Amino acid sequence: MVSPETIAITAGRNDTGGSLAPAVWASSTFQMTSLDDGRRQAMRPRTTRFYGRHGNPSVRAFEDAVAALEGAEAAMAFASGMGAICAVVLGLCNKGAHIVAQQQCYGGTTQLLAGVCPRFGIEVTFVDAAQPGAFAAAVRPGETMLVLAETPANPRLDLVDLDELGALIGPIKVVDSTLATPLGQQPLAHGIDLVVHSATKAMAGHNDAVLGVVAGARELIEWLWGFAVLQGATASPYDATNALRGLRTLGVRFRQQSDTATALAHALEGRDGVLEVRHPSLASHPRADLARTQLRHPGGLLSFELAGGVEAGTAFMSAVQLCLPATSFGGPETLVTHPASTTHAGLGPEELAVSGIGPGTIRLSAGLEGTEDVLADVLAAVDAAQAGTTASPDPAEGALGR
């Protein structure tokens, strides 16, 4: 069986003309050979040489690569991860539909489900994904159209049993697998119908593309295409090309980031001033057994809770020097953020509590710097936060001199 790392190198090369680097098809529209040809193209799903909103050769190359990595019949790219999530939710659910979704997920997804869906007459039931059987218990036979999970979940790395989810009968089962990437897990192999990624993150991997993608059965993807043409969240050929380039190095990047995050998680656990650490590599993770059997790699994201709440979080964010304060993840730089103030700022206190996000929660995305350098910077910042002061070393020394 060919490994995902090999597929990441070889997939998406059907229309390159022998070029090893992906080609950028920047055209928004293409010349028709005849009126009949134009009519056929206008009615054909996912055509790539008609009009940019319908499809593009550069975007298709990226889509084909993701489909191959996920073991899917087809994939479709969108202008962002939220564009992909919106297309799935609003493209598959009508007024009166019922959705079951987990409480622990990305803030934008929560806002879409809790704030936008009710306006369209779509009812959403939120469940605690940490509880086995929670999804099945909330499904209403004949009413539930969609079950939506995010695993590992942002930012607390909660895990959902994909086999348990895939065994549900009736609703369309969707998993946001952004944190795991296709190299960490393949939800479709567990009976999931659609897998969603914010390809902006580790897939593209260089902080130079904004992109989302959905993979699954061809019939479902073509249905979503019909909605997407009207929705207009069209993927840029430039971003798709950058993301395809990123897929080529995803294997080595993801291993390095996983190794660094694992080292950080173990170093932080039990340290003064750190109340809790969440990473799938830890034996203390609530679903550590599931992490060992379901994930090929534990991933480059971890979160930890600092004693001292917002003040400690603010002190930590001010103290880091090598790590950069930023809200994304999966890129070459190690990034840190305070979810309650950034990625989940749109949630109220109760919603934050339900999501497990505390006032001192820090999310860290491990980059590609030397592991020891990242460790030194993070541990020094934790100590500074615990002391209640911002670290002020000699500027000439820098983070790497610690």
Per annotation, catalytic residue among 158, 161, 176, 377: 176
Pairing of strands 324-325, 194-198: unpaired
User: In whole angstroms, what is the distance from residue 13 CA to residue 96 CA?
Assistant: 43
The residue whose two tokens read 């960490």 is 184
Structural tokens at position 80: 């962002």
**What single-letter DSSP state applies at residue 392?**
-
218 labelled catalytic: no
Per annotation, catalytic residue among 64, 106, 173, 296: 106
Round the CA-based radius of gyration of the chain to a whole number and report it. Answer: 22
95 labelled catalytic: no
Per annotation, catalytic residue among 46, 156, 201, 248: 201
Per annotation, catalytic residue among 49, 53, 245, 255: 53
In this structure, what are the phi and psi dihedrals at residue 155, rounded to the nearest 5 degrees? -110, 5
Number of neighbours of residue 372 by Cβ within 10 angstroms: 11
Decide if 111 contacts 85 (C-beta within 8 A). no
Decide if 128 contacts 100 (C-beta within 8 A). no
106 labelled catalytic: yes
Is the bond into 339 cis (omega within 30 degrees of 0)?
no
Number of neighbours of residue 327 by Cβ within 10 angstroms: 15
Number of neighbours of residue 87 by Cβ within 10 angstroms: 22
140 labelled catalytic: no
User: In whole angstroms, what is the distance from residue 135 CA to residue 36 CA?
Assistant: 49
For the residues of 7-28, what is the DSSP string, one character each?
A: HHHHSS-TTSTT-SSPP----S
User: In whole angstroms, what is the distance from residue 302 CA to residue 295 CA?
Assistant: 15
Distances (CA, A) of 229 to 64, 198, 220, 373: 19, 19, 14, 46
The residue whose two tokens read 């930012």 is 155
Task: Using alpha carbons, select from 158, 162, 197, 166 the residue that is nearest to residue 70.
Answer: 197
Decide if 335 contacts 326 (C-beta within 8 A). yes
Active site positions, annotated: 53, 106, 176, 201
